[in-house]
Chains A and B, each alone.
Chain A
């Protein structure tokens, strides 16, 4: 089976040399997809793939895509947290393709949270 070629990895390494390397603290925004059991069953992995694809299509290299454990609100999954550098994090609930695209445009790139998709403040502990 074809392994990932050393050549391909070298190419990426060469290209990144001299460019700003993506590290914690050097990113424009961080998108965290919650990957607990309920999240995965509700489509969290597809949400992650969706973001990976737009980031790739537009050749963006300062947005981090990461995951974390269960957010504790099963009925509201898939959930993501968007943190634009210098702003406080916003949790979004019931994320689907359409919401994900809008959140990416308006919040991740535009810096303006999409209030209508966000988890209402104070409802973090309302167990479902």
Chain B
């Protein structure tokens, strides 16, 4: 994976595959403390402690089409290369939280990548799942909550092409502004 936005897409897809109806993604950039934190929370079926204990082993997966589970171990590797780590907490029937930390200024820290494309792909591709995105940087924040959009749109679905474009352009310009500070 080239950047963090692709890892985020991959881990969020795990939650969707696990039947989640709500995915919460938080990115927290604190350049003073030199920490980049990413949290992905879903209310999918979760994993029991036995499975969880080995889920970061790249040879674990419940899928039948392929023997190797890769996504979480790849993300963990990326975090460790930037002086951080990835941890998972999960409760069967309740959901899963994946927590990633990295040193913000670390030379091997992967770039953020295109979060507008990641979020639009998730929302447009899974219009029945709600998504909350919070991106903080040094005290400012951007929030996107599809539950609010859904309420406003009434019977127009979230995957309508004009809605997808609106979401994409809003995330793109807002994050650009957030990065400028």
Query: Which residues of the other chain, B, contact A48 by a CB distance below 8 angstroms?
Result: 117, 121, 124-125
Instruction: Take A4-B144, A70-B65 as given contacts and tell me if A60 and B170 are in contact as well, using a CB distance cutoff of 8 Å.
Output: no
* Cβ A12 vs Cβ B153 within 8 A: yes
Q: Enumerate 18 A-B pairs (CB-CB under 8 Å) in ascending A order.
A: A3-B143, A3-B144, A4-B144, A9-B163, A10-B152, A12-B156, A12-B163, A13-B154, A22-B161, A36-B13, A38-B66, A38-B70, A48-B124, A48-B125, A49-B121, A52-B168, A61-B160, A67-B13
- Complex-state Cα separation, A1 to B176, whole angstroms: 10
Q: Which A residues form the contact surface with B (CB < 8 A)?
A: 1-4, 6, 8-10, 12-13, 15-16, 21-23, 33, 35-38, 40-41, 45-46, 48-49, 52, 55-56, 60-61, 63-67, 69-74, 127
In whole Å, how far is B113's beta carbon from the nearest beta carbon of chain A?
Answer: 9
Query: Which residues of the other chain, B, contact A72 by a CB distance below 8 angstroms?
Result: 63, 65-66
Instruction: Take A9-B149, A48-B125, A65-B124 as given contacts and tell me if A21 and B157 are in contact as well, using a CB distance cutoff of 8 Å.
Output: yes
Instruction: Take A38-B70, A60-B161, A67-B126 as given contacts and tell me if A21 and B120 are in contact as well, using a CB distance cutoff of 8 Å.
Output: no
* Cβ B71 vs Cβ A1 within 8 A: no
Interface residues of B in 111-165 (CB under 8 A from A): 117-118, 120-121, 124-127, 140-144, 149, 152-157, 159-165
Instruction: Take A1-B143, A45-B6 as given contacts and tell me if A64 and B159 are in contact as well, using a CB distance cutoff of 8 Å.
Output: yes
B interface: dominant SS: helix
Query: Which residues of the other chain, B, contact A52 by a CB distance below 8 angstroms?
Result: 120, 124, 161, 164-165, 168
Query: Which residues of the other chain, B, contact A3 by a CB distance below 8 angstroms?
Result: 143-144, 170
A-B contacts besides A2-B177, A10-B152, A66-B125, 6 pairs, CB < 8 Å: A4-B144, A16-B156, A49-B121, A56-B165, A65-B125, A73-B65
- Complex-state Cα separation, A21 to B153, whole angstroms: 12
Question: In the complex, what residue of chain A is closest to B63 when comparing beta carbons?
Answer: A70
* B170 in complex: contacting residue of A2, A45, A55, A67, CB < 8 Å: A2
Return the 3 tightest CB-CB contacts between A and B, nearest first: A72-B65, A67-B125, A1-B142
* Cβ B9 vs Cβ A40 within 8 A: yes
* Cβ A35 vs Cβ B125 within 8 A: yes
**For the complex, is B10 an interface residue (Cβ under 8 Å from A)?**
yes
Query: Which residues of the other chain, B, contact A35 by a CB distance below 8 angstroms?
Result: 9-10, 13, 121, 125
In whole Å, how far is B98's beta carbon from the nearest beta carbon of chain A?
Answer: 14
Query: Which residues of the other chain, A, contact B153 by a CB distance below 8 angstroms?
Result: 9, 12-13
In whole Å, how far is A25's beta carbon from the nearest beta carbon of chain B?
Answer: 12
* Cβ B70 vs Cβ A127 within 8 A: no
Interface residues of B in 80-133 (CB under 8 A from A): 117-118, 120-121, 124-127
* Cβ A55 vs Cβ B117 within 8 A: no
